Structure formats: structure tokens, C-alpha cells
Structure 1
Amino acid sequence: MTTVQETAAVRYGIWVLCPAAGAAAVWGLKLAAAWITTLKWFPFQGVFELVTDIPEPWVTIAALAIGAVAGLVLALLWAAEMMSIEVSHDRVTLRKDDKIFDFGRNQVESAFTDGKQLVLLSPSGAELARETSDLSRSKLEQAFTGQGYRWRDADPFAAEFRMWVEHAPDLPPEVNALFTARRKAISKYEHEEAAELAREIRKRGVSVRDEKKRQYYRCER
């Protein structure tokens, strides 16, 4: 079995780097608070005026603590979005967002990357998974080919994707409703919600991919 995941430096380093960066950023704002209060156009003037009124060392302690907590929250979100993949002769298992996607060998016809997304295709050409990650393309290719899976250089069905428009006539109302909900999630940068809606769309026999904020689809065979 071959496992592909982020390097140890990334997996463990975020728990140090993110809180440290958050603490430094908020501490920097604390240092600039007096100057910011002179800029009447700058938002949240009340907050910065309050900061200038808090005596030392409490204001520094509070700034460092708030920044570290914010950085820790960022690290938690980052860790949740990291994907790891286990490829064996019998199956492929993806882990992301506290979810596990498991596919038997006979379900996976091939794999490829589309930008930062790993895509798994079934023998019928349906997309089993399309998940975003920062994993190395070369390492993914080695993992799949090393276990005897077919690796494609590009999406063989790329030409079949069409841009989604509201009430697309060749899609069922239920699928159009999911696309509408996903468009709202994308506009609000709710990436996890958009990913979950894409999975629901795939369950209904429609592949979905994005270009910028536009959604494209193809009806699977």
C-alpha cells in the first residue's frame, strides 16, 4: 500500500506557524493602534481607541493571546482541508474534511489531476471523486501506477463539460437546485459546503467542475 499525504513539516508546522503568525499580526496592530486612531477613515475606530486605553502589560498579553487563538483556528481549518490518500492493489481510500471515501479496485478505472483536484473515474466514465488538495501530482501518479492503476495525463471527457446556467433544460429540477445552492456557497467562499454539494450532484449522475466562479457539468454515461 502507498500513502500520499502532506509532508511532516506541513502537517506539524502549521500548529506552530499559524498561532505565531496570528500573535505577531495582532501585536503589530496593537503597536499601530495609536496611529490608526488618527485615520478617521479607517474602520473599527472604537476598537483601536479601546486598545489605546488599556494599560500595559495587559494590552500586549491580550493581543498575543487573541492572535494565537485566531491562528490556532486557522490551523484547525487548514488541517481539516488536508487530504491523504491510501492506494493499494485492492482499493483507494481518500481522507478529507473528517470524511472517508473508499473505492474498491473494480470501481476505479483510472485517475488524473485537473489543476489541484484529484479525479477518480469509474469504468463507465462517471466521476467517483473530485477532491482538491496540494498533494504532489508526481507522487500521486507514482502511487497509482505503482499499484497497477491507470493514470491519465488529462480528463478524457473535458470537451463534454458545459457551463451551467439556471434551470438548465437537460438537468432534473433537483440537480438544478443543487447547482443554485452551490453557486451561493461559492460566492460566499464556503468551500466545504461547495465541495459537499458537488458530491451530492455527482451522486445524481452529473460531474461538476469549476473555472473561477463558473460551474461546468457533464451528464455521466
Structure 2
Amino acid sequence: MEMTIDEPVWLRRGSWFGCPLIGAALGAGLYGIANWAVTVTWFPWQKPFQALLEIPKPWGLAGLLALGLVAGWLFAAVWAEQRLIVIVSPGSVRLQRGKKKRRIEARLTAVFKDDKELVLLGADGKELVREKTDLSEAALAKGFSGHGFPWHDEPPAER
């Protein structure tokens, strides 16, 4: 039986709502900063803020809100494309990042997380895989050790 190790559902789904909302809030905040910046004589880059405020009232703010929404949505899309999904089954490991898929069926001598990277060592002790990930170390340990792979809490000492 295989086990899929991925970001929590609430985070995957929430990022599609949260990132655009945060982007829109930043856009609105930029409009507020522009209102403040043009009143302070020492503030640099006043001309772009003045130009922003010269846009007719509802359209300047609406434009920044829309720009923030789109930027947040793009950020969520990049996040989704860059996240690592690990599928562990007895005798094989599959890694998926966006459309790129990789299957490892070699005998592994060690599996561990080195900082923010998942590392799989082959039979000769050489790295087969080193992938950046934010996946929980506890979930990775459970998935790998539960399927007979040698999980290490720390990188093994070099021989």
C-alpha cells in the first residue's frame, strides 16, 4: 500500500484563497501609502505616488486591488507548481514537482532531511536524490520507515 506525503489539504486549498486576498490587501495598502507619501516632503519617489493618486478615485484603488489579486493568484500558482509530493510504497519512491515525475526503485541505504532538502542515498552511499521541500519531517519519517526504508533523523556520518 502506498502513502502520499503532501502539504496539508487546508494549506493547499487555502493558498488559492489566501494569497489573492493578501495581494489585494497589499494593493489597498499601497494606495494608503501613496496618500501618506505625497504629504511628506522628505519621502523619496513622490512622483510615482502622485501619478497613482491622479487616477480618478475609484479606478486607482480598484486597479491596485485587481493587480494585487492577480499577483496573489500567480504566487499561489507558482507555489502549487513548486511543491514536492512524495509517494512511498514498498520498494519504490515517486517524487512529483509540477509536471516533473521521478521514480526511484534502487536500494536505499539512508533517507533523511538535510535542512530543507529530502535526501535519498543509494546502495553505494551516493546521493540519488536531493530535493528542496517544506514537507513535515515527521510525515516523511513515518512514510519512509513505515515502508521499510532506512529513515535517519540526521544525515549519516560520512564513511
What is the CA deviation profile of residues 167-192 of structure 1, one whole-angstrom value per residue up to 9, with x for unaligned ones? xxxxxxxxxxxxxxxxxxxxxxxxxx
Q: Return the alpha-carbon distance in structure 2 between the equivalents of residues 40 and 123 of structure 1.
A: 67
Q: Return the alpha-carbon distance in structure 2 between the equivalents of residues 46 and 73 of structure 1.
A: 28
Q: Equivalent residue for 2:102?
A: 101
Alignment of 1:26-45 (within 5 A): 26-40=27-41, 42-45=43-46
Q: Equivalent residue for 1:124?
A: 124
Instruction: Measure how far apart 1:151 and its partner are.
Output: 1.0
Q: Equivalent residue for 1:11?
A: 12
Q: Return the alpha-carbon distance in structure 2 between the equivalents of residues 112 and 62 of structure 1.
A: 47
Instruction: Measure how far apart 1:45 and its partner are.
Output: 2.6
Distance change (3 Å), C-alpha of 1:43 and 1:123: farther
What is the CA deviation profile of residues 117-164 of structure 1, one whole-angstrom value per residue up to 9, with x for unaligned ones? 111000001111111211111111111111111112222245x8xxxx
Comparing 144-153 with 6-15, which one deviates more in the overlay?
144-153
Any idea what SS the aligned residue of 1:119 has? strand
Q: Equivalent residue for 1:213?
A: none
Q: Return the alpha-carbon distance in structure 2 between the equivalents of residues 96 and 39 of structure 1.
A: 47
Which ranges in structure 1 are unaligned for 5 or more consecutive residues? 161-221
Q: Equivalent residue for 1:142?
A: 142
Distance change (3 Å), C-alpha of 1:50 and 1:10: same
Runs of 4+ with deviation above 3 angstroms: 38-44
Q: Return the alpha-carbon distance in structure 2 between the equivalents of residues 28 and 101 of structure 1.
A: 42
Any idea what SS the aligned residue of 1:156 has? coil
Q: Equivalent residue for 1:21?
A: 22
CA RMSD after TM alignment: 1.8
User: Partner letter of residue 86 of structure 1?
Assistant: I
Q: Return the alpha-carbon distance in structure 2 between the equivalents of residues 30 and 90 of structure 1.
A: 56
Q: Return the alpha-carbon distance in structure 1 between the equivalents of residues 100 and 45 of structure 2.
A: 39
Q: Percent identity?
A: 38
User: Partner letter of residue 94 of structure 1?
Assistant: L
Distance change (3 Å), C-alpha of 1:44 and 1:78: farther
Q: Return the alpha-carbon distance in structure 1 between the equivalents of residues 86 and 156 of structure 2.
A: 22
Comparing 89-98 with 11-20, which one deviates more in the overlay?
89-98
Q: Return the alpha-carbon distance in structure 2 between the equivalents of residues 10 and 3 of structure 1.
A: 16
User: Partner letter of residue 115 of structure 2?
Assistant: G
Question: Aligned pair count?
Answer: 158
TM-score by length of structure 1 reads 0.66
Q: Return the alpha-carbon distance in structure 1 between the equivalents of residues 112 and 119 of structure 2.
A: 5
Q: Return the alpha-carbon distance in structure 1 between the equivalents of residues 4 and 92 of structure 2.
A: 12
Q: Does 1:77 align with 2:75?
A: no
Q: Equivalent residue for 1:154?
A: 154
Instruction: Measure how far apart 1:113 and its partner are.
Output: 1.0
User: Partner letter of residue 68 of structure 1?
Assistant: L
Q: Return the alpha-carbon distance in structure 2 between the equivalents of residues 131 and 41 of structure 1.
A: 47
Which ranges in structure 2 are unaligned for 5 or more consecutive residues? none
Any idea what SS the aligned residue of 2:57 has? coil
Q: Return the alpha-carbon distance in structure 2 between the equivalents of residues 52 and 11 of structure 1.
A: 36
Instruction: Measure how far apart 1:101 and its partner are.
Output: 2.0
Instruction: Measure how far apart 1:17 and its partner are.
Output: 0.4
Q: Return the alpha-carbon distance in structure 2 between the equivalents of residues 74 and 41 of structure 1.
A: 33
